[in-house]
Each structure stands twice: as structure tokens, then as C-alpha cells.
Amino acid sequence: VETSVRILEDDVVFDAGTGSVLNSAGDVEMDAIIMDGRSLRAGSVACVQNIAHPVSLARQVMEKTDHTMIVGEGANLFAKELGIPQVPPDQLVTDIARQQWEEYHKYKRAVNELFDSQLGHDTVGAVAVDSEGNVACATSTGGITAKRVGRVGDSPVIGCGAYADNETGAVSCTGHGEAIMSVTLARTVTFNMEQGSSAQSAADKSIVYMKNRVDGTGGV
């Protein structure tokens, strides 16, 4: 899942790594998580800047620290300690992201409205199962255009943007972070699987639940 998400982070089409959307200050701030369904161990980073592959930093949090989440300056300090190179801020900024940010400021559109108009420009994720039934998931995002500086969405939050448990399955989410957090979407999917739903049916039920409860949109 780390390798898959790294490839998507490099793809400018997606809102993760290179191609991340810009916050209200016009900067990239990214969130990512990785989770191992054998141990329920997860690692995540939030509000990290100048890193090409936040998902790999999240994996280092899982494997090399006693913590689950490290944010902001601390995440960048941790990356420095590991020798992960910092990239110049502009290297992650694409024309599409700049355009969306300018459109937001020109028309003063609501962040949620702009979010709905982001045609296919969204969070990335991967899930995997090996031959022994071990599952894993990873999610990475730049968040939503013009988000407040320091805003953290669902993606790096365990049970919200991702969840993996060998006893049920692995989930990665995309969509409106505030809504996803309200219903702990990833854990809601595995809960529905525990109750006997197939993966597809659990995903469908959870998306409908989010729509009905908080009028949220997204996918898993």
C-alpha cells in the first residue's frame, strides 16, 4: 500500500504529494496514514510540508516511534532526523492547485462548495490483502482548497480516513473530511462487515449513512 500510494502522490492529477491543493495561505499542508491489520498499529502525519511522500513518513512513525500521529513542525523534524529530503515548497504546487486557489479567492466560494466542484482531484488510497489474509491500508491527501492553516481532515485519523483489521478488512476513504470524521467512516465500514455485510455492501451502507446523518459525500 505504501508503494501504491507513493505512485499516486507523484501523480499531479491527485490531491496528495505533488498536486496537493493549497491552504488559505497558499501553501501545501498534507496528511497521511498507514495501518497494519495484523497488529492494528498505525502511523500518521498531519500538516506536513515540503515532503514528497507523506505516506512513507507515516510508515516511519508506525515502525520507528512509540506514537501513532506526529503533526506539523514535529513531523518535519522527524523527517529530517530520518534523512528524508525536504523538497522546495513550489515543487509540490501544480497549475491546477494554483488555479483552484485563485478561483476560490476570486469568487469567495465556500470551501464546501469548492470541494464539491473538485472534479476527480482528490485524496488517494490503497488497500491490500496478502496470501495469508493480512490486510493493510494507506491514505494520503493535501486536504481541501483554502482550508485554514493547521486544519486536519479525516485522512490521518485512525478509523476515519483509513482502517485495517485482519479480522474484518481494510478501508481507505476519500471525500469531505469533516463529514467523514463525524461518522468515523472507515471504522463504520468494518463495523458493517463485522455485522455480516460484504465489503461492497458495507461500503454502500456506510456512504448512505454519512449522507443521511451529516449530508456528507465521499467514497471508500
Binding residue positions for substrate: 151-154, 174-177
Q: Which residues are part of a known binding site? A: 151-154, 174-177
Stretch that binds ligand GLY, among 6-14, 75-83, 137-145, 205-213 (CB under 6 A): 137-145
In the DSSP assignment, the letter for residue 87 is P
58 belongs to the binding site for ligand GLY (CB under 6 A): no
Q: Which residues, 6+ apart, have CB-to-CB distance to 193 below 8 Å?
A: 168, 169, 199, 202
Cell numbers at 101, concatenated:
486557489
CA distance 12 to 31: 16
Whichever of 6 and 176 has its CB closer to ligand GLY, that residue is 176
Catalytic residues: 123
Contact criterion met (CB below 8 Å) for 42 and 167: no
Quick one: which of 60, 58, 75 has its CA closest to 9? 58
Region from 65-73, 77-85, 88-96, 168-176 binding ligand GLY, contact rule CB under 6 A: 168-176
DSSP string, 15-69: SSSTT----TTS---EEEEEEETTTTEEEEEEEE-S-S-HHHHHHHHHHHSS-SE
Binding range to ligand GLY, per CB under 6 A, among 32-40, 55-63, 163-171, 174-182: 174-182
Site for ligand GLY in 189-218 (CB under 6 A): none
> What string marks each residue from 75 to 104 as x (binds ligand GLY by CB under 6 A) or -?
------------------------------
Q: Which of 141, 190, 192, 206 binds ligand GLY (CB under 6 A)?
A: 141
Q: Do residues 7 and 18 touch, judged by C-beta distance below 8 A?
A: no
The CB-of-155 to ligand GLY minimum distance in angstroms stands at 5
What minimum distance in Å lies between the beta carbon of 34 and ligand GLY? 16
- 54 near ligand GLY, rule: CB under 6 A: no
Q: Is 159 in the site for ligand GLY (CB under 6 A)?
A: no
| Beta partners for residue 45, in sequence order | 32, 70
Q: Which of 23, 94, 140, 155 binds ligand GLY (CB under 6 A)?
A: 155
Give me the residues paired with residue 200 across strands. none
Residue 206 three-state SS: helix
Among the listed residues 143, 159, 169, 216, the single contact to ligand GLY using CB under 6 A: 143
